[in-house]
Structure formats: C-alpha cells, structure tokens
Amino acid sequence: MSLPAASPWFDERSESPILAEYARKLTSFLDAVADGHVDIAELEAQEKRVVDLMKQVEPMLSAEAHAKVTELLQEVTAYDMMNTLYMAAKSRRSAGRA
C-alpha cells in the first residue's frame, strides 16, 4: 500500500495515532496474519523492511530531525507495546467472564 505524501499520523479530532490503521492495510501485514499466526520468517521479513526503510530515511534527516524522529519511533514503539499488553489483558479478563 502506498500512501499519499502528506498522510496524517494522527486523527485531528481524537488526537489518537492512526498509523496502525495504515499498517493494517499493508499487504505484508495482511499476508502475514491471513493464517491467524505470524511465523519467524514473516517477522524477519518485516524487520528487514523496517531496517531497509530506516536506511533510506536516516540520511535524509538533519541532526535535529534525526533526534526527533528517533524519539518519535521510540514513543510509537512503546505505545504499540503498551497497547498490545493492554489488549491482551483485556482479552484475558473478557475470557474469564465467558
């Protein structure tokens, strides 16, 4: 999936990140989760795509932009990990009531 150059990173009204919405539409993601699980080869392929994009983008950034993008990537990663843990705990609580 290719996005327009100025795709927003967050919803203006809710101020919630919308990057996950884009990710859910990626062919690589859809192919990986189509069978209901992600195997090591799919995970390694995704890691390679991430590193390849980092290698393309990093030289384009000024020192100041690099620092801010690094901070952004750290915060997005922390948000995704926290959201995953929250959703897993929520799922366990719901399963316990079923």
**Same domain? 8 vs 56:** yes
Runs of H (alpha helix) within 19-62: 19-23, 27-33, 40-57
- Residue 93 sits in which domain range? 62-98
Domain tally, the chain: 2
pLDDT above 90 for 41: yes
**Same domain? 8 vs 51:** yes
> For residue range 60-95, what is the model confidence (pLDDT) as tens digits?
999 999 999 999 999 999 999 999 999 999 988 888
The residue with tokens 């203006």 is: 12
**Same domain? 66 vs 53:** no
Token output for 76: 């997005």
The amino acid that residue 51 corresponds to is V
**Same domain? 40 vs 9:** yes
The residue with tokens 């990626």 is: 26
Token output for 94: 């719901």
- Give the per-residue pLDDT at 7: 86
> For residue range 19-35, what is the model confidence (pLDDT) as tens digits?
889 999 999 999 999 99
